Structure 1
Amino acid sequence: MKPLIIAAALAVAMAAAPALAQHHWTPHSPTVQAVDADVRAPLEAYLRGHATGLADEFRPAFHPDAELWGMRNGALIRMTAEQYIGRASGAPAADEAQRRRWIESIDVTGDTAVAKIVLDYPTVRFTDYMALSRIDGRWVIVNKMFQADPKAPAT
């Protein structure tokens, strides 16, 4: 019975792949798909923000008081969600066709969740760890921690 369910889930994911491909993120694994859509919503808004470069796509993903912390080139980077959103270019990146993004995992306990997102770009691979909370019935990212790992230039 389980192989049939997995096969059906994969068939649905493959059928949806062309629609998802236009946003350049990988279809969710069956495990991530099983997580309530309300929990996935801010993560998917975050992915759309990256794909489109639009601040209005990012904004519903984050709680207004969210903070972002991370490491890039050995340096600590810290900013508010609004500072991060303010960096949105307003358009997709020039190399958008080569960029891939996906939700690696989501773990939910009550009104709290953590998620791992991977943003695989031509020159850098970001690993984002999102802390989410359900506040007033709506899931939002309250904290983002990230690691940026530069890639070696292609030869």
Structure 2
Amino acid sequence: MSEEQAIRAVVHLYVDGMAFANEPALRKALHPRADIIGNYQGAVEWMTRDEFITAIVEEGSAPPGTIPFMEIELIDIEGDAACVKVVDEFAGMKFSDYLSLVKIGGRWSIVNKVYHLHR
């Protein structure tokens, strides 16, 4: 598997984890020290991975058979660091997510997410 394919697999795991409130998938995609940051409902939202996962699980899963919307617009890889821009939908809202990934122990992991909520 190429580095790009491995990164795409992590991004798919992340988007599917959000869509279906899949805590194990999100824990696998996101590094334990990952931060999730963006403007939400007029205020800066700054969460740890665990706070983010709790919020996703509380929102609940998309209906079975749903195909999550995901459009990877950019993947930039330099050695063991990468940046991905992905447009996705969650709970009826559209986001642009800017994901920073680092290859740690031979596996890509999302270490930071900065998002924009489209209006």
TM-score, length-scaled by structure 1: 0.65
- Give the partner amino acid of 2:105: D
| Structure 1 residues 126-148: Cα deviation after superposition (integer angstroms, max 9, x where no partner) | 11000000011111000000011
More strand by share: 2
Larger radius of gyration: 1
| Structure 1 residues 28-83: Cα deviation after superposition (integer angstroms, max 9, x where no partner) | xxxxxx85322222211101102211111111101111111111233100000111
Change (3 A) 1:121 1:39: closer
User: 5 Å matches for 1:69-80?
Assistant: 69-80=37-48
Asked if 1 retains the 8 angstrom alpha-carbon contact of 2:98 and 2:113, the reply is yes
- Give the partner amino acid of 1:127: S
Distance 1:121 1:83 in 2: 16
- Give the partner amino acid of 1:85: I
User: 5 Å matches for 1:140-151?
Assistant: 140-150=109-119
Instruction: Report the 3-state secondary structure (helix = DSSP H, G, I; strand = E; otherwise coil) of the residue aligned with 1:92.
Output: coil
2:94 aligned with 1:125? yes
Distance 2:114 2:100 in 1: 8
More helix by share: 1
Asked if 1 retains the 8 angstrom alpha-carbon contact of 2:4 and 2:75, the reply is no
Q: What percent of counterpart residues are identical? A: 33
2:15 aligned with 1:50? no
TM-score, length-scaled by structure 2: 0.83
Name which structure has the greater RCO, CA cutoff 8 Å, separation 6+.
Answer: 2
The structural deviation recorded for 1:86 is 1.8
- Give the partner amino acid of 1:51: A
Distance 2:46 2:27 in 1: 18
Asked if 1 retains the 8 angstrom alpha-carbon contact of 2:76 and 2:84, the reply is yes
Query: Structure 2 unaligned runs (5+)?
Result: none
